Amino acid sequence: MSATKAKGGVRQGEPPRELEGRVCLVTGAGVRVGRAIAEELGRAGARVAVHYGQSASGARATVRAIQGDGGSERARAFPAELRAPGAAAALVKDVRAWGGRLDVLVCSAARFQRRPFEEIDGPAWHDMLAVNLEAPFRLAQAAAPELRRRGGAIINILDVAAFQAWRGYAHYAVSKAGLAMLTRVLALELAPRVRVCGVAPGMVAPAPGTPKAVLARELGRIPLGRVGSPADVAQAVRYLCTASYVTGTVLAVDGGRSAGPRSAP
């Protein structure tokens, strides 16, 4: 039987497009997790502002994927160096001018770096916090008035490193721990009109060349017994976009690792 169009232009049998008519800004949407989130929100019917810092080609690919799923006006790429003064406010202004509104802000852009504690100098420390913590703060400030008008949401992408100390990643872990607290504070500051949540991925898409012994050790600590994917994170973000009674929480997407080891020691 051929599919027929239902109300709103959605064909019967297709997944619901619960974000139809909404505009979402996803930072760092040209690569990895950010790209998966942007494409997932596009599949949910949203118009997606695809932010990128340096990954211009990746952002264009993200836009093409979303447009192919929903039309030429479904997505547009927006460059911005979020460490620059005023960049966050300018980005939000540009997105509103394009979309006519802003309903969801997803802060996914991040820096990740391994460096021994003694070797973390001033520039490395400040650069990490500028991207991973200050940029989401400034974006939230800029977007808050419009999100209040729309009854919108902010979703920050954290990391389980926000809650688990990792040797060799002091500046990264501190930045993500700060973002976890910022998520909770903003949930109070912006309630009841704006919901603010976080998603904390565990082992998602390990870097190419990760030693097999390391992967095997990590898999032994994950109750679900597999490495996660950017799609797992994107599905959690999609849920939080419309979870109307959820705010101030950080959802771990880690295969159950934060619950404890798979077996007793």
Assigned token pair, 83: 């460490």
DSSP E strands: which ranges in the chain?
23-26, 47-52, 75-79, 104-107, 153-157, 195-201, 250-253
Q: Confirm whether 172 is a catalytic residue.
A: yes
Q: Letter for the amino acid at 89?
A: A
Among 52, 172, 239, 245, the one annotated catalytic? 172
- Distance, in Å, from the CA atom of 108 to the CA atom of 37, rounded to the nearest integer, reads 9
Query: Which residues neighbour 222 within 8 Å (Cβ) at sequence distance 6 or greater?
Result: 202, 203, 254, 255, 256, 257, 262
Task: Select from 61, 49, 45, 44 the least CA-distant residue to 24.
Answer: 49
The CA-atom distances, in angstroms, between 87 and each of 100, 171, 195 are: 19, 23, 23
Assigned token pair, 182: 């910022």
- Distance, in Å, from the CA atom of 146 to the CA atom of 163, rounded to the nearest integer, reads 31
Task: Select from 179, 212, 194, 86 the least CA-distant residue to 148.
Answer: 194
- Distance, in Å, from the CA atom of 12 to the CA atom of 2, rounded to the nearest integer, reads 9
Active site residues: 172
